Amino acid sequence: MGVLEDLADNLAKDTIAHAAKLGDEDEVIRAVAKKLGTSSTTMEETFMTSVRVRLAERRARQFLDEQIKQGFLAKDTGPKLMDDGH
Q: What is the mean pLDDT of the chain?
A: 88
Write out the DSSP string of 4-70: HHHHHHHHHHHHHHHHHHHT-HHHHHHHHHHHHHTT-HHHHHHHHHHHHHHHHHHHHHHHHHHHHHH
Residue 71 pLDDT grade (very low, low, confident, very high; cuts 50, 70, 90): confident
For the stretch 30-59, pLDDT in tens is 999 999 999 999 999 999 999 999 999 999
Whether the per-residue pLDDT at 74 is higher than 90: the answer is: no
pTM of the model: 0.77
Distance between CA atoms of residues 61 and 22, nearest Å: 22
SS3 state of residue 3: helix
